[in-house]
Amino acid sequence: MPKSFNNNMLSLQHISKYYQNGPNKAYVINDLSLDIEEGEFVSIMGPSGSGKSTLLNIIGMLDAPTDGYHYFIDQPVHQLKEKQRSALYKQYIGFVFQAYHLIDELTVYENIETPLIYQDIKGSERKALVADMLDRFGIVGKKDLFPSQLSGGQQQLVGVARALISKPKLLLADEPTGNLNSKQGEEIMELFRKLNKEDGVTIVQVTHSEKNAQYGSRIINLLDGRIESSITL
Amino acid sequence: MLKNYFKTAWRSIMRQKVFTMINVTGLAIGISAALVIYMIAVYDFSFDSFHPKRDKIYHVVTNFTFSGVPYKNGGVTSPLGGVIKNEIAGITEAAPFYIANDDTKITVPDGTATPLNLKKQDKVVYADARYFNIFQYKWLAGEAKTALSTPYKVVLTQKQAELYFPRLTPAQVIGRKVIYNDTVNTVVTGVVENLPGNTDFVFHDFISFSSMGVALSADQQKYNQRWDNTTSASQLFVVLDDKATVANIEAQLEKLQKKYDPNNGKDFNGTQDFKLQPLKDIHFNSEYATFNYRTANLTTLYGLLAIAAFLLVLGCINFINLTTAQAVNRAKEIGIRKTIGGNRKQIIVQFLSETFLITVFAVLVSIALVPLILKFFTGFIPEDITVGMLKETSIIIFLILLSVIVCLLSGFYPAMVLSGYKPVSVLKNQTHAGTGKTRNAWLRKSLTVTQFVIAQFFIMATILVSKQISYTLNKDLGFKQDAVLFVNTPWRENNADKKQVFVNKLKSFPQIENISIGSTPPSSAGYNTTSVKYIDGKKEIKTDLQLKNGDENYINVYKIKLLAGRNITKSDTTQMMINETYLHTLGFKKPEQAIGKFIEHGDTKDMVIGVVNDFYSASLHSPIKPLAIVPAWKYNNYVVHVALKPKTEGGGEWKKAIAQIQAAWKEVYPEYDIDYGFVDESIAKFYESEQRMSKLLAWSTGLSVFISCLGLLGLAIYTTGQRTKEIGIRKVLGSSVRQIVSLLSKELVLLVILAFVIVTPLAWWAMHKWIENFAEHTAISWWVFALGGLAMLLTAIITLSFQTVKAAMANPVKSLRSE
Ligand SMILES: Nc1ncnc2c1ncn2[C@@H]1O[C@H](COP(=O)(O)OP(=O)(O)O)[C@@H](O)[C@H]1O
Ligand SMILES: [Mg+2]
């Protein structure tokens, strides 16, 4: 049985994911192995359809691979039950999406607060944590607005704030700047760098932008579900 | 956490006002029906639940069979009350009492020439300390032990004392006089508080038991000493000790009866058994009748509960259908909630809180509806049931439980579906793919079919019940029912001369065609049966024979046809006219063959002088049985039957005739109020329970169709919303409005038709079961089903058209541009 390494955040070993397409298997991820250490900032690049989102979702336990071994902080994820997996996820992982994915019915404040509610954190503590986060992202004035009343960049700030509120060890971001203009994109990237450097948050982002990829410490190029190259900066 | 859930729930409810309204309305109808019916149940089950010894108190009653036909009487032979406690082991107390006739006259002398005079009073009993030992009253004046120990004493309830002596306190009432039926002069020796809860023990004047010796007629007293005479007036309650069992006491009673009445049963060709009826059975058993007149009917209560359950299910189905139909719209939100750490349980709780909020709305609406429902169904709902009952703990607990059940019933499945979405597929916009959606669609279709099965069942049942009612009311009963009045003369003044004076006065009125004196009209609720014997030379034919008493005009008033022989004449005494059924029972083919034959009953022999056509002597629930019309003067008959001439244009004559009859009555019987009725109306009363059922069914039908159509409308709103783009393209390509409407309605209409196919055999089966209650019944025609199905289909199409026509008429350019 393959082993995991001690300061590894996560380890994927011989991971495959395919969809049955009639008699054929359509591989999206094909026998891929990848280790990410704590404190890394990894950028995943590759052409559309190469399996970037799928890989990120597998890392984030939103999707399950068809084959292979998946360790997360020494836990064999591939052996865990749904419940344990979601507990692990809840405790350690934050997600940021290209389309922001805020809940339309909730205000900025409530969107950021919701992960804390799911973690059964007390009301008074929640209040303090959310207030901190609003302050840190400079969106205190927007706290009672609904997502539809914000610009794209502001929405993504809320998205990041929401992902960070539960103090995740691993932040996963799927094209976080894809819908933003370059100035807004830069802001988010600066934020990521700071998080990585100052708070030690491990980050894995998918990006199409060469420039944004440079913020990371490693760039992984994906092609047809395989790692084509891995460059440490 | 919950606060957050409710906040989200509130916002999503407000965002979908139409769906929320459909859901709330559907659920509120079911909940208010359940609530009111539960109130009725609580009320009925509360009867006499407060007596200290309630589990040990039994009502002694009598079950008879006469020639195999069962007959039940709530009374016992009077002498039993005197001996039961001493001769039966296991009985600690026994309270016989005797119910005075229900037209007791009460006079309260006050020294003036015009004392308080009450006629036709009921709920007066002859009782004593034994009654008050079993049923504990609070004594405001006097005491249980001595108040009724000697004749000519009376105890009143507080309310009755206030009625007789408005300004006096209970203590002051003691010693006052109350006179019953002009002859029983009593002195008030006690005042008791009215019983504290709902009760069937509603007597308000308790005359001492020993007064019966003077109060009742000599005849009645003689009867009351006999072991072979049973009247429902003679009541007996007992208290069993802890070891006694009902079976054991009943066995002892059988022995006791054999000892005192060895010939029992032989004298009337049947059996007679004493039974113990538990106190809590009294309110629900109409076979023995209560003292309060209204008995609750457990079958009706269960029927009502079933209706409420059906309405609730319909409302829940709407909720499930509309929520799962829209699930896709909420999929994104669920996906997000899961990616930010929400687990399945938390999401289920969130959706259940949303459902709960809607349920609470529905409950509030239901509570607001209760006064309207109570008002609308007065007559059906006992009047003691008021809005005030909503404050009772049991009702509040019921509402909370009901809310939880409704919430789970309607919310659980949608919550499972919604919480089951995988966040990746949702976020990748793949919710349309996969098996989840088709499974939901399949479930939605099944539920919609279920709704329409229920709705069509109600429609068909309503049609059949009305058909049967109109059949029974229009059926030729074998005699004339319309334009005939009957007047009950006072039996207390059963004086042949006075009756004749009254009849002679009526004869002079131009509007009156014919008059007869006799017993009840041909069809009546109660009947008089005797066992008779006919010896045709070889064998003996023993049967029961129903008796109607009439004079020479009886068959003329009712236009009953004489088939052979002659009518009764004034000089007849031991003669009788028989009906065709009896004729055939006796083995004769032609009416003429029976004439001159002798029928034995008891010690007498009556000669058959005539044969009349068959007519129904009771409701159509029972078939025609052997019957004879015997001369009226043989028995004490007190009903005057009056045939009126047909009404003419304007119809003022009958009113005038009735006024004249009333005036004549006042002259002959100034002491009594007239008691009369139309024969056809009294016959319609036989079918009161069917009429009530019909009204209730009509309501259930209306409501179930309404709820189902609301659901249908909701689904139509949803699907047309989903297909806006498709509709636009089709229109651009040249589809007509009609084509689009039929395209949009087709699927839902097919479901209604499928429901019709399913419900028809079910309804057919249920109808057969129900109609077996009638000896004579209407046909279960094919058109009952066709009409029911068609009515539903039309209603469904009209409902759908509200939405589909709107969608089909919409400007295609607009809908395409917005896509
Ligand atoms: N449910 C599915 N069934 C079949 N193929 C799928 C499914 N989900 C994703 N794919 C395929 O997987 C491939 C990788 O998708 P994705 O990971 O989203 O790529 P990327 O994010 O790099 O653009 C795509 O070619 C997509 O068509
Ligand atoms: Mg992608």
Tell me the per-residue pLDDT of B626-675, one tens digit each, with 9 for 90 and over: 999 988 765 567 789 999 888 776 667 888 888 999 999 999 988 788 88
CB contact under 8 A, B1 and A117: yes
Q: At what angle do helices B435-474 and B298-325 cross, to 10 degrees?
A: 150
Distance from CA of A107 to the nearest CA of B (A): 10
B341 and B255, same structural domain?
Answer: no
Q: Is the dihedral of CA A209, A215, A221, A224 positive or negative?
A: negative
User: Best-predicted range by mean pLDDT among A158-162, B428-432, B617-621?
Assistant: A158-162
- Position B707 in a domain: no
> Cβ-count burial of B172 within 10 angstroms (0-12 exposed, 13-18 middle, 19+ buried)?
middle
Distance from CA of B335 to the nearest CA of A (A): 9
Phi and psi based region of residue B347 (left: phi greater than 0; alpha: psi -120 to 50; beta: remaining) = alpha
Q: Tell me the pLDDT tens digit for each residue of B687-701.
A: 877 888 888 889 899
CB B518 within 8 A of CB B638: no
Q: What amino acid is encoded at B508 in this protein?
A: S
Residues near B391 by Cβ (< 8 Å), separated by ≥ 6? none
The Cα–Cα gap between B109 and B176 comes to: 9
Q: What is the largest CA-CA distance in chain B?
A: 104
Domain boundary pick from B373, B399, B433: B433
Distance from CA of B10 to the nearest CA of A (A): 10
B581 and B519, same structural domain?
Answer: yes
Closest ligand 1 atom number to CA of residue A52? 22
> Cβ-count burial of B89 within 10 angstroms (0-12 exposed, 13-18 middle, 19+ buried)?
exposed
A50 CB less than 6 Å from ligand 1? yes
For position B627, what pLDDT does the model report? Answer: 92
B307 and B279, same structural domain?
Answer: no
What is the rounded average pLDDT for all residues in chain B? 87
Specify the range with the lowest mean pLDDT, choosing from B245-254, B302-311, B591-600, B692-701.
B692-701
Judging contacts by C-beta atoms under 8 Å, the chain A residues touching residue B343 are 83, 86-87, 90, 118
B87 and B10, same structural domain?
Answer: no
- Position B788 in a domain: no
The Cα–Cα gap between B780 and B461 comes to: 11
Counting other chains too, the contacts that B372-377 makes at CB distance below 8 Å and 24 or more residues apart are: B373/B32, B373/B36, B374/B36, B377/B36
Tell whether B346 is within 8 A of chain A (Cβ): yes
- Probe site for chain B from A86, A96, A172 (most B CB atoms < 10 A): A86
Closest ligand 1 atom number to CA of residue A174? 21
Residue bearing the CA closest to ligand 1, atom 7 = A19
Tell whether B187 is within 8 A of chain A (Cβ): no
- Whether pLDDT at B313 is above 90: yes
B502 and B406, same structural domain?
Answer: no
B399 and B506, same structural domain?
Answer: no
Judging contacts by C-beta atoms under 8 Å, the chain B residues touching residue A63 are 424
Q: Measuring CA to CA, which residue among B197, B795, B53 is closest to residue B455? A: B795
Could you write out the DSSP letters of every residue in B409-434? HHHHHHHHHHHT--HHHHHTT-TTSS
* Structure token pair of residue B439: 């499974």
Q: Tell me the pLDDT tens digit for each residue of B735-745.
A: 888 888 888 88
B356 and B268, same structural domain?
Answer: no
> pLDDT class for A1, splitting at 50, 70, 90?
very low
Domain boundary pick from B686, B714, B735: B686
- List phi, psi (to 5°) of B750: -60, -35
Q: Which of residues 423-452 of B touch A (CB under 8 A)?
A: 423-424, 427-428
Specify the range with the lowest mean pLDDT, choosing from B67-71, B136-140, B293-297, B635-639.
B67-71
> pLDDT class for B436, splitting at 50, 70, 90?
very low
B59 and B32, same structural domain?
Answer: no
- Give the predicted TM-score (pTM) of the model: 0.79
* Structure token pair of residue B693: 């059922």
Say how many Å lie between the CA of residue B74 and the centre of ligand 2.
Answer: 85
CB contact under 8 A, A118 and B343: yes
Strands of B379-524 (E only): list them: 484-488, 512-518
DSSP state of A70: E
For position B429, what pLDDT does the model report? Answer: 56
CB A94 within 8 A of CB A172: yes
A53 CB less than 6 Å from ligand 1? yes
B160 and B215, same structural domain?
Answer: yes
A225 CB less than 6 Å from ligand 1? no
CB contact under 8 A, B1 and A57: no
Say how many Å lie between the CA of residue A57 and the centre of ligand 1.
Answer: 11
Residue bearing the CA closest to ligand 1, atom 2 = A19
Q: Measuring CA to CA, which residue among A166, A174, A186 is closest to residue A126? A: A166
* Structure token pair of residue B174: 């003691």
SS3 A126: helix
Chain B: residue whose CA lies nearest to A98 = B427
> pLDDT class for B434, splitting at 50, 70, 90?
very low
- Give the angle subtended at the CA of B375 by the CAs of B371 and B376, to the nearest 5°: 115
> pLDDT class for B431, splitting at 50, 70, 90?
very low
- Position B796 in a domain: no
Domain boundary pick from B234, B253, B284: B284
Residues near B218 by Cβ (< 8 Å), separated by ≥ 6? none
Residues near A140 by Cβ (< 8 Å), separated by ≥ 6? A131, A134
For position B518, what pLDDT does the model report? Answer: 87
CB contact under 8 A, B341 and A89: yes
Q: Which domain holds residue B90?
A: 54-284
CA B727 to chain centre: 53
B259 and B115, same structural domain?
Answer: yes
- Position B655 in a domain: yes
Closest ligand 1 atom number to CA of residue A56? 17
Q: Which domains does chain A have, with CATH numbers?
A: 8-232 (3.40.50.300)
Residues near B362 by Cβ (< 8 Å), separated by ≥ 6? B23, B24, B27, B28, B31, B315, B406
B143 and B73, same structural domain?
Answer: yes
Distance from CA of A230 to the nearest CA of B (A): 26
The Cα–Cα gap between B68 and B269 comes to: 9
Tell whether A104 is within 8 A of chain B (Cβ): yes
Domains identified in chain B, total number: 3
> Which of A24, A29, A44, A54 should be mutated for ligand 1, with most atoms under 8 A from CB?
A54
- Position B764 in a domain: no
The Cα–Cα gap between B455 and B315 comes to: 12
Report the percentage of chain A scoring pLDDT > 70: 97
- Position B1 in a domain: yes
CB B487 within 8 A of CB B661: yes
For position A51, what pLDDT does the model report? Answer: 92
CB contact under 8 A, A102 and B427: no
CB contact under 8 A, B333 and A104: yes
DSSP state of A107: -
- Position B406 in a domain: yes
CB contact under 8 A, A86 and B343: yes
For position B493, what pLDDT does the model report? Answer: 67
Distance from CA of A181 to the nearest CA of B (A): 23
A25 CB less than 6 Å from ligand 1? no
* Ligand number nearest to the C-alpha of B428: 1
- Whether pLDDT at B2 is above 80: no
SS3 B363: helix
> pLDDT class for B227, splitting at 50, 70, 90?
confident
Judging contacts by C-beta atoms under 8 Å, the chain A residues touching residue B350 are none
* Structure token pair of residue B786: 């066709």
B211 and B129, same structural domain?
Answer: yes
- Position B186 in a domain: yes
- Whether pLDDT at B565 is above 70: yes
> pLDDT class for B29, splitting at 50, 70, 90?
very high
SS3 B65: strand
For position B642, what pLDDT does the model report? Answer: 93
